[in-house]
Structure 1
């Protein structure tokens, strides 16, 4: 899968809610009420990431999860990262 151009990334960011470009990755901080809810979010992320064979870099804190998306094999952001970002936004709405 090919790396997206800067223009394609900018267009994707306009469609995505709360995502930003940081050091060549798509980044979003998801906020939750407590640690248990943060962990539940990650348990919902795991099967989705596995189904796409595309796994995010995550940092989990007490009531927030920070997600970084990039396609390491391509050396940047691809459409797969955008697709996973959209799916993570949908999962976050379920909490």
Structure 2
């Protein structure tokens, strides 16, 4: 898998308005009504990520979730990251 350059990443982000490109990774912050709802959503993502064989870096505090995507093997952002980001958006929407 080949890493995308910054202009390709910024172009693809136009389809993901809630995501940002920071520190070489795609970022998305989500907030839920409580911890249980947040953790349930993380579980949904976990199953999808496993099916795609592409796993997020994430950080959870109570009802907040920070998701960070990059392809470590490629040393940057790849199509896999955008595929998972779109999946996450569909699940959250």
Same-fold call, TM cutoff 0.5: yes
1:91 corresponds to: 91
Tell me the TM-score normalised to structure 1 length.
0.94
SS class of match (2:14): helix
Task: Please show how residues 10-89 of structure 1 align to structure 2 within 5 Å.
Answer: 10-89=10-89
Structure 1, unpaired ranges of 5+? none
- Tell me how large the CA RMSD over aligned residues is: 0.7
1:15 aligns to what SS in structure 2? coil
CA distance in 2, matches of 1:29, 1:12: 18
Equivalenced residue count is 93
TM-score for the superposition, normalised by structure 2: 0.96
**Consecutive unaligned residues in structure 2, runs of 5 or more:** none
Moved beyond 4 Å, runs of 4+:
none
